[in-house]
A and B are shown apart, each in its own frame.
Chain A
Amino acid sequence: MESGQHMLRTGRRGTLFEFSMALRDLVTSYHRRGLAWSLAWHDVVSRYRGSILGPFWITISMGLMVLGIGLLYAKLFGISVAEFMPYVAMGIVFFGLMAGTINEGCDTFVQASSMLSQTSLPMFTFIWRTVLRNLINLAHHAVIIVGVILFFGLWRVMDVFPALGGLLLTIVNLAWISMLVAIASARFRDIPQFVMSVMQFAIFMTPVFWKPDAFPDRHAFLTLNPFYHMLTTIRAPLLGQEADGLSYVVLAIMAVLGWALTFSVFAITRRRIVHFL
């Protein structure tokens, strides 16, 4: 075990050994979770230093978008505002979490290069930093969600626990995607641009601004889109609907396979990551 008192670094190789070292990194990051939290909190504070509203500026800009799109599209699509506005509000806020965690994941290691090259801090710490930072932002934007829930009286029909389950599954999945792009971006500097393009594309291909009513249930266009499953498991229960059980299954399977893949990539590249930077 790595502790503050004993450090051992060896040139030993072998798959099993690399995996145990990667696991040790993960465990150490858990023991030092306070550090990840401090870094994440500091990131948010320092980004908005000197600004009075701070992260709420993003909340305001999201709120404006919700208002504009909610009113305009409701008219264009011929849906009632009361039905469409909460739908779009949740779509924009939760997709913001997904896009933020994945896009910022690209910078995770690159940004931390000076710390990684002269301390023995666990690498997972920086992954948690990115994830926690985006959760702190989400907590600010939750104002919008609470607003539409109160305004449109959704508290009477919503089901919080399935939504929290969906959120948890989503975060677990976002974390591995974020880590995978973090490693890839450290090695290949084209990845951040590529990821950004994909996320830009995804926001239009995912039912964030539009309702998937035109598709029959479980159409491949939706079921093959992981962001659809993430969004629908959080949003549907909050709107008083039931999310398709398939979505929970897909997310659970994706979490297991995704983490297996990411953890393997990490185990193999771990000793090289600091040299990529």
Chain B
Amino acid sequence: MTEVSIKVTDLTLRFPVYGVDAKSLKKNLARVTVGGRLSSSQTGATEVTALSHLNLNLRAGDRLGLIGHNGSGKTTLLRALSGAYEPDEGQIEVRGRIAALLDLSLGIDPSATGVDNIRLRGRIAGMSSKEIEDKMDEIAEFSGLGPFLAMPMKTYSAGMQARLAFAVATAVEADVLLMDEWISVGDADFQKLAHRRLLNLVERAGILVLSSHDAGLLRLYCNKVMRLEGGVASEVKDIRRLDELLAAA
């Protein structure tokens, strides 16, 4: 068993923005046939630098909160840590099983039943069929949906959908947990349940990276904090210095 860790070295991520025009083949063909004329305004896709020279070292027990304005790169960093993006420069190395809880609706099919969605979502998260069947009762119980699990998800209220998605998403055995802000789902009762389950998960998971705008939430779950601004990261600081970082805004 390897030590759980996240090591990000000098990470730079750029997003090429393919304009609506550039997505049409005609423009590219025209460039070839007409020669430079069109290309003067079209050459090379515009690039947005989403993350710039970011360094980060986390070890087991670290629970990092990410703060920053909209568009500062928090979600991009989380997605990069989940392995979805290839760095343009630098390197990301994650040891341990990753669970990315970034989008509750990932892999959810509204016309399928609750049970089918648990299976599908579980498979996407990397569980085997057997693992899923073993956990099915626990997930079903936690979701509190009872007989509704046999109904199509589209008949669920938004809160019920969130309950189910949350129950499946948090059923995975993970060493590294990546979360985008979405904990405020369901009614008050469910909030309490969700909170307990998350704390449990965080305890089992070696590392948590949580992006949030809620200072209270960050204080509750995290012991470290990092601020992103325009894709540039601050130093990783102790959570007690959160106010300092917030004030720097």
Contact = CB atoms under 8 A, between A and B. Distances in A.
Is chain B found bound to chain A in the same assembly? yes
Nearest to A272: B16
A73 interface: no
Contacts of A188: 23-25, 28
Contact of A7 (B15, B23, B98, B111): B98
B85 A121 contact: no
A118 B79 contact: yes
Interface string B2-24: 10000000011001101000011
A237 to B, nearest CB: 37
B109 interface: yes
Given A11-B90, A188-B28, A189-B23, A120 B83 contact: yes
Interface in A179-211: 187-191, 194
Given A34-B123, A115-B124, A10 B90 contact: yes
Contact of B93 (A8, A46, A194, A270): A8
A5 interface: yes
B101 to A, nearest CB: 10
A181 to B, nearest CB: 13
A225 interface: no
A117 B123 CA distance: 17
A100 to B, nearest CB: 21
A121 B129 CA distance: 17
A7 B124 contact: no
A115 B94 contact: no
A49 B110 CA distance: 11
A276 B18 contact: yes
A10 B87 contact: yes
Given A38-B120, A115-B124, A119-B100, A7 B16 contact: no
Nearest to A4: B97
Interface of A: 4-12, 32, 34-35, 38-39, 42, 45-46, 49-50, 114-121, 187-191, 194, 270-272, 274-276
Given A9-B87, A188-B25, 15 more contacts: A6-B94, A7-B83, A7-B94, A7-B98, A9-B86, A11-B87, A11-B91, A39-B120, A42-B112, A49-B112, A114-B106, A118-B103, A120-B84, A188-B28, A191-B25
